[in-house]
A and B are shown apart, each in its own frame.
Chain A
C-alpha cells in the first residue's frame, strides 16, 4: 500500500507536469517558412483585375521560376559527383534527426 502511494505521488505530478509542458512546447508557437501551395489555385474563378488574384499569380509564377532554376540540369555541368550523393543524403538525415532536441 505504501509503495502504491509512493508511486502515485511520483506519477501523478510527473504526468500532470509533462502534459503542461506539451501544451506549451515552443515548437507549437514557432512560425515556419512555408512555400506557397499553388496547387489549390483555381484559375477559372480568378478575376485577373483583382489585386489579390494578380498577387497570387505573381507569387506562384516566381516560385515556379525559382524551383525550375534550381532544377536546371543544363546549369549543373559535370561538377556534380553522383557517387557522393548517398553519403551526403545519409549525413543530412542524421543531421536532421539531431536537430529535434
Chain B
C-alpha cells in the first residue's frame, strides 16, 4: 500500500512538472536555438529507429531504369533541392534556416558522419518511406498525399545517383523539356 502511494505521488509530481514546463513557456521553440545534446540525441534516435522499423518490409523495385532518373530528376529539382541541395551547391536559405538541418543529399551516404544508412536496399526503403510519409516537426512534408508511389520511387532512384552527378549532368537530368 505504501509503495502504491509513493508511485502515485511520483506520477502526480511528474504530471505537475510536465504541466509546468508546458504552460510556463520556458521551452524555447526557436529554430535558430539548437536543442541540448541530450534532447537532440533522444529525438535523433527516436526518428532513426522509427523510420527503420516502419520501412523494414517495403519492397524495393528495380531502380536502374533510366526513365526513373528523368521523372525523379525534375521532381527533385522542384520539390527537394531547395532544402537538400544540388551538385556544386553548399548551402541554401532553407538548408541554413531549417532545424534540424535537412541532410545534404549530394553527399554519398558512406561519407555521412555519425550515422549509418545501411546497404542500398535499406537506404532506398528509408528514403521512400520518408518522402512518402514525411517527418513530424522537421519541415519534411508527406509527399505521398499528393504523389503516387511510382513517382516517389523515381525520386528515390534519382537520389541514389545524386552524389555521383556533376552539376552539368544534374542540369540535363532535371531540366524541364
Question: A interface vs B, CB < 8 Å?
Answer: 29, 31, 33-38, 40-41, 51-52, 54-56, 58-60, 62-63, 66
**A54 to chain B: which residues have CB within 8 Å?**
66
| Distance between A68 CB and nearest chain B CB, rounded to angstroms | 13
**B161 to chain A: which residues have CB within 8 Å?**
51-52
Question: Given A37-B172, A63-B177, is A52 in contact with B70 using a C-beta cutoff of 8 Å?
Answer: no
CB under 8 Å from chain A, chain B span 151-177: 161, 164-165, 168-169, 171-173, 175-177
Contact (Cβ within 8 A) A29 B172: no
Say if the beta carbon of B95 comes within 8 Å of chain A.
Answer: no
- Type the 1/0 row for B3-44, where 1 means its CB is closer than 8 Å to any CB of A: 000000000000000000000000000000000000000000
Number of interface residues of B (CB under 8 A): 22
Partner of A52, one of B67, B78, B82, B169: B169
Contact (Cβ within 8 A) B66 A36: no
Say if the beta carbon of B110 comes within 8 Å of chain A.
Answer: no
Partner of B177, one of A29, A37, A40, A66: A66
Say if the beta carbon of B59 comes within 8 Å of chain A.
Answer: no
